[in-house]
Structure 1
Amino acid sequence: MTAASTTLRGVLVAFAAYAVFAFSDASIKALHGTVPSFQVAFTGAILSLAALPFIKGPGDSWLDIFRTTNRPLWLVRFAAGATGAIASIITFTKLPMAEAFCLLFLLPSFVTILSVIFLKEDVRWQRWAAVIVGFLGVLVVLRPGFRELSVGHLAATIGAIAAAIAIVILRKLGPAEKRLSLYGASLLGTLIVSGLLMLSQVVVPSLQQWLFLASYGLLGAAGNVMLMTAARLAPATLVATPQYSQMIWAIAFGYLFFNDSVDLPMALGIILIICSGLLTLIRERKRQVPLPAAVASGDAQSQIATTPVEGEAEAPMR
């Protein structure tokens, strides 16, 4: 098989992975808030354990889930994983899908800002321009002062910031940190935090609700495994870029199943936000740093899938 055909396979698998993530998020929306967010996050995290055998490397131990080269940063990822998962679930419960994606797609902009603050990265005008374009797009979508903002908008912003913190920590730890440890930090955070918080309000799901919960958790795990497969076949930029196809799924699901609509200002804002993200991805690729991957996975794990581990080249081409 030629390198070109292998790369094409990787890109196609990436498109399929982001579609799977979109179906996972639509499952949250389909619950219509009938199951508490903490319980949804806990159930999703339990089902996400299914991805662990695919993430475990040949020389890894299951205890590597708890091991780390930097415990304080591991604990921050622990907290960020829980926060991001719960916030994302609230976002898709409260907002139309396209609007939820618009705010979550601010992830690359938040990564840029946090990288300057905590990693002391040298950010040039091109990346700052992308950040400004992204925030302008959000202003066009939200139109503050002309429409009422809700807890869903706040949750989306918190979710994007939490995912950005997780990625900045990923960059700080570097490829020496095992992928199993990185995945374990966020997964354990979601399990423990949401498990404790849901104790005050637990409902017994109906059969249909169980199906949506299973769809959310298992599809999220499957998306991560597919994204990891794509990263082995194609360069990271080509794997990360198709994430914006999730917006197409969001608009389609919103229109067909949830009676959502997209007006002209929102369409313009979506275009600006996508342009901002693509500009950031191009700049990140030139700097050869871990790329922000899918932002819509409720378990906030998808950036792990395209991250090289120790001794592994980034997104190798065969």
Structure 2
Amino acid sequence: MNNPLRAAAWMAGAIASFSAMAIAARIVLSDLTPLQLMFYRNIVASGVLLCCLPLIGGHRLIVRQPATQLVRHSVHFAAQYAWFVAISLIPLAQVFALEFTVPIWSLLFAALLLDEKITPPRLAAVALGFLGSLIIVRPGLVPVEHGTVVMLIGAFAFGIAHTLTRKITLTDSPLSVLVLMNFLQLPMAAIAFIFDPIVPPAWQWPCLVSIAIAALSAHYCLTKALSLAPANVVIPMDFLRLPLIALLAWWIFDEMLDLWVFAGATIMLAGIWINLRAERKRSSAPRLS
């Protein structure tokens, strides 16, 4: 399918969910390690999914690409761990700005694994998005921190995971990706958790539940978006997360609100608009038989 407008609507839900998850994670990571957070998040999310399974329907959970699903969820687990580590070390706006190197990797992997064409509008969206991120991060002017390196590695892994999601949703439903992701990642987190167990205080549980629900919502919305349009169309839309998280971090955590963030975001939005406009024309153009 190629429906960029519906994909954009689902990406709006993913952006809101990822932002809520980052805010709640920043709060609990003052006392928990990233692996401890991931363990409890997966417990809550798996419990929610088990309760919802009767409503989902078994036919929507059929897995036709088990090997690809396993690789995707393993790579995504590593990427998610890097994301939480970065959230605990550097400002949220910087985390999201570095995460926006993901479209570059997604573009390359989509061309290699899915044989998707790198059209000029798609290339322009990624190039402008990356340029906007460079304006925000200003490499060479800001010291490279440990959290910065971790997030760049996580972005590379996210690029692989997003591309594999697109491949999976050609045959499997988005719900199968979501359910299997949580059930496979729970033992991954549990193995690490047993070496450093901790019981969160009562005040953290609302945040952990919020993280789990936001994670389910974010990944379902993202998977739906990737099922409606190519990865190199969907992922550039994610640039909208940056100005949103910058404002939230300023309001909640008193993180500095940098004008460079908004300058970079403006360039990112220009790339998104160019890409969506081109894809809309392409999807509405008459096809010759």
Q: Give TM-score, length-normalised by structure 1.
A: 0.70
Residues 222-269 of structure 1 show CA distances to partners (whole Å, capped at 9, x for unaligned) of 4556x49x97xxx879x9897555334312221122121132333322
Taking the TM superposition and a 5 Å limit, the aligned residue runs for 1:76-225 are: 76-223=71-218
1:113 Cα deviation (Å)?
Answer: 1.4
Q: 1:249 to 1:93 in 2, by over 3 A?
A: same
Alignment of 1:37 with 2:34, yes or no, is yes
Q: 1:55 to 1:161 in 2, by over 3 A?
A: farther
Aligned to 2:286: none
Q: Give TM-score, length-normalised by structure 2.
A: 0.76
Q: 1:175 to 1:42 in 2, by over 3 A?
A: same
The one-letter amino acid paired with 2:187 is I
Q: Give me the whole-angstrom Cα distance separating, in 1, the residues matched to 2:196 and 2:205.
A: 17
Q: Give me the whole-angstrom Cα distance separating, in 1, the residues matched to 2:26 and 2:178.
A: 25
Residues 8-59 of structure 1 show CA distances to partners (whole Å, capped at 9, x for unaligned) of 9x95x87566434322220001124420100111111222222462796434
The one-letter amino acid paired with 1:75 is L
Alignment of 1:58 with 2:53, yes or no, is no
Q: Give me the whole-angstrom Cα distance separating, in 2, the residues matched to 1:285 and 1:161.
A: 28
Q: Give me the whole-angstrom Cα distance separating, in 1, the residues matched to 2:139 and 2:235.
A: 30
Q: Give me the whole-angstrom Cα distance separating, in 2, the residues matched to 1:267 and 1:157.
A: 21
Q: 1:248 to 1:108 in 2, by over 3 A?
A: same
Q: Give me the whole-angstrom Cα distance separating, in 2, the residues matched to 1:281 and 1:165.
A: 23
Taking the TM superposition and a 5 Å limit, the aligned residue runs for 1:14-25 are: 15=12, 18-25=15-22
Q: How many residue pairs get matched? A: 271
1:213 Cα deviation (Å)?
Answer: 1.7
Q: 1:15 to 1:126 in 2, by over 3 A?
A: closer
**Which has the larger displacement, 47-56 or 139-148?**
47-56
Over the aligned positions, Cα root-mean-square deviation in angstroms equals 3.6
Unaligned runs of 5+ in 1: 1-6, 289-318
1:112 Cα deviation (Å)?
Answer: 1.0
| Contact 2:243–2:261 (8 Å) recurs in 1 | no
Aligned to 1:294: none
The one-letter amino acid paired with 1:270 is A
Aligned to 1:316: none
| Contact 2:237–2:272 (8 Å) recurs in 1 | no
**Which has the larger displacement, 172-181 or 87-96?**
172-181
1:253 to 248, 253, 256: 248
